[in-house]
């Protein structure tokens, strides 16, 4: 009797391990992104609100860690991989900003901005913040670009993993401190200047989270924690984060969640379409929500109906796009959803 493996043969005869749990979780996380942007639930008071926000807070870190994990193959090719990914993400970021540009222009026109002011704001947001009106998900790409640039510099300095971990962790702490000071409206001139240029500073959080994913992959064979222990650690970190909100237990939650999910590979069906749908959902959902907003008005956009209509539209578009990819695999779709 042949032993069933969780690997598939890729081109060239090389084996490639499948992470089916990650594929399905990415799909779930993509739905949570839509829930966040469509304001599915807005009552943040009390325990339920805290739990909801905590669940949403796991989404972006999960994607950063996941992309860092898959980016690392081996130490010899790592620097080249960083450069290759940087070029690819910059190209993707530019393409989707062009696609979302009409929505940005709409926002500037509605708010009565002059052409000069609109251009200045757009350039600032493009380079330092990562999102514009109804194109909020694109900040993730800019955060990933910042992470790749930082890692390229750190590797050029020949720093070891321990030093890279410490430096990137300090950037994460800095980003969260600035986010907090910005949120409370600090009058400090440095905070105000930082806020004007970088917004809440979240673009810097990806540097540490991507590094975590890389280190998990690099030392994957040395991480020996059972699924039951990981589940227990997730529950403990989740409970602590609900009772006493803090970044330490939250980061623990992100790490343990990813470690557990990557081990969930005993899934009988093919999960590649879950992965592909999650990518399509990520890129197109705000366009769908914007169209819905034009129809019903901004005051009626958010809530259950906006969420459901956006999900249905994304699902239909995903089915069509995946069908076209499977049948003809046109280059334009490779460029848009790579």
Question: Which distant-in-sequence residues (6+ apart) come within 8 Å of 247 by Cβ?
Answer: 173, 176
Contact 250, 279 (CB under 8 A): no
Tell me how far apart the alpha carbons of residues 305 and 323 are, in angstroms, rounded to a whole number: 27
Task: Enter the pTM of the model.
Answer: 0.92
Tell me how far apart the alpha carbons of residues 303 and 43 are, in angstroms, rounded to a whole number: 11
pLDDT, position 13: 41
Q: Where are the domains of the chain?
A: 1-44+269-338, 58-223
The secondary structure element, H or E, covering residue 242 is helix 227-243
pLDDT, position 10: 40
Give the Å distances, CA to CA, from 29 to 32, 55, 61, 210: 5, 9, 10, 17
Tell me how crowded residue 198 is: count the other CB atoms within 10 A of its CB: 20
pLDDT, position 16: 63
Residue 161: name the closest of 120, 219, 228 by CA.
Answer: 219
Pair of tokens at residue 15: 């084996």
Tell me how far apart the alpha carbons of residues 124 and 120 are, in angstroms, rounded to a whole number: 6
Q: What is the mean pLDDT of each run of 10 residues along the chain (338 residues)?
A: 40 62 96 95 83 95 97 92 96 97 97 96 97 94 98 96 97 95 92 95 97 96 94 98 94 97 92 96 97 95 96 98 94 89
Pair of tokens at residue 290: 């914007």
């Amino acid at each position: 009797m042949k032993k069933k493996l969780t690997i598939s043969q890729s081109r060239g005869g090389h084996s490639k391990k499948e992470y089916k749990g990650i594929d399905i979780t990415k799909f779930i996380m993509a739905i949570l992104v839509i829930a966040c942007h469509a304001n599915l639930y807005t009552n943040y008071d009390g325990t339920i609100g805290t739990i909801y926000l905590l669940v949403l807070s796991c989404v972006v870190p999960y994607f950063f860690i996941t992309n860092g994990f898959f980016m690392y193959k081996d130490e010899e090719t790592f620097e080249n991989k960083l450069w290759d990914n940087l070029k690819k993400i910059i190209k993707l970021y530019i393409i989707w900003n062009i696609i979302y540009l009409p929505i940005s222009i709409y926002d500037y026109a509605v708010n009565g901005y002059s052409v000069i002011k609109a251009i200045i704001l757009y350039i600032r947001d493009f380079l330092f913040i990562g999102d514009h009106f109804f194109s909020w998900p694109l900040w993730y790409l800019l955060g990933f670009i910042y992470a790749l640039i930082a890692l390229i510099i750190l590797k050029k300095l020949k720093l070891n993993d321990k030093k890279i971990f410490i430096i990137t962790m300090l950037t994460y702490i800095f980003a969260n401190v600035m986010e907090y000071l910005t949120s409370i409206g600090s009058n400090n001139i440095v905070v105000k200047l930082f806020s004007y240029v970088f917004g809440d500073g979240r673009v810097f959080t990806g540097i540490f989270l991507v590094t975590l994913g890389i280190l998990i992959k690099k030392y994957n064979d040395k991480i020996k924690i059972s699924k039951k222990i990981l589940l227990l650690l997730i529950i403990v970190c989740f409970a602590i984060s609900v009772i006493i909100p803090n970044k330490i237990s939250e980061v623990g939650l992100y790490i343990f969640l990813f470690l557990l999910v990557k081990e969930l590979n005993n899934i009988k069906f093919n999960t590649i379409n879950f992965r592909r749908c999650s990518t399509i959902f990520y890129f197109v959902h705000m366009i769908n929500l914007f169209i819905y907003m034009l129809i019903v008005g901004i005051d009626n956009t958010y809530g259950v109906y906006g969420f459901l209509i956006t999900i249905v539209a994304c699902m239909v578009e995903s089915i069509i796009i995946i069908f076209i990819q499977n049948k003809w695999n046109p280059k334009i779709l490779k460029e848009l959803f790579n």
